[in-house]
Amino acid sequence: MSRSSAGCFPRLERLAAPDTILASSTSAILPSAFSEHLKTRERCLVAHPINPPYLVPAVEVVPSPWTDPDACERTATLMRGAGQSPIVMKTEIDGFVMNRMQGALLDEAFRLVHDGYATPEDVDIGIREGLALRWSFMGPFETIDLNAPQGVRDYVERYKGIYEAIGPSQQRRVDWAGPVLDAIEADRRARLGAEKLGDRQAWRDRRLMALSAHKRQSDRDIKS
């Protein structure tokens, strides 16, 4: 949703039944920004899906400070009924959950390439052939809970010093649109011509379908 389309909410408020939840799929606009002046602003929230939304089940349910908790719960229930996996946030924040997590990862990816530590493909390998294999089945907290003999506290006690040492070097942002973009784009177009982007997107969707089917079967096997 663009900021201009946010102006449709007063009209929606007039036309929708009083108990209808008004939700935006925006990935960036805070719900308070488009609902503040509405008379029934307590029923407004964000329901932000992930691309491609027809294959990725996660969806962020984001309330404004005045959103009725019942509206969030009703939205989450609707999403679960449709086969989605809602992330019900406690309150709004810029970027919500997933873009903040993705942004932190992208910042480090751009920084590693910009500073000459790794090529774009090496960074992609690190995720594609490394971290993402675990992340397709578990999040960061479960990952570290399983990566130490005694669980999450044991992990932190063992390894927090490593991340404390890394932290200061991760505070500096590089300009994504600066010279590093030329290097990353050149690397990507050498590996995948622009004319083949559509085919690769279709390939991505088929892989997501297969992974989704595999995960559903794994869940059934666990429950049986």
Q: Which residues contact 157 (CB under 8 A, 6 or more apart)?
A: none
Query: Tell me, what's the pLDDT at 4?
Result: 52
- Summarize the confidence of residues 129-148 as an average pLDDT: 96
Residue among 27, 38, 152 nearest 101 (CA):
27
Q: Which residues contact 53 (CB under 8 A, 6 or more apart)?
A: 59
Confidence of residue 220 (pLDDT cuts 50, 70, 90): confident
- What confidence tens digit (pLDDT) does each residue in 25-78 have? 999 999 999 999 999 999 999 999 999 999 999 999 999 999 999 999 999 999
Could you give the 3-state DSSP secondary structure of residue 23?
strand
Q: Which fold has domain 98-191?
A: N-(1-d-carboxylethyl)-l-norvaline Dehydrogenase; domain 2 (1.10.1040)
Omega within 30 of 0 (cis) for the link into 168: no
Share of the chain above pLDDT 70, in %: 97
**CATH of range 5-88; options 3.40.50.11900, 3.40.50.720, 3.40.50.11540, 3.40.190.10:** 3.40.50.720
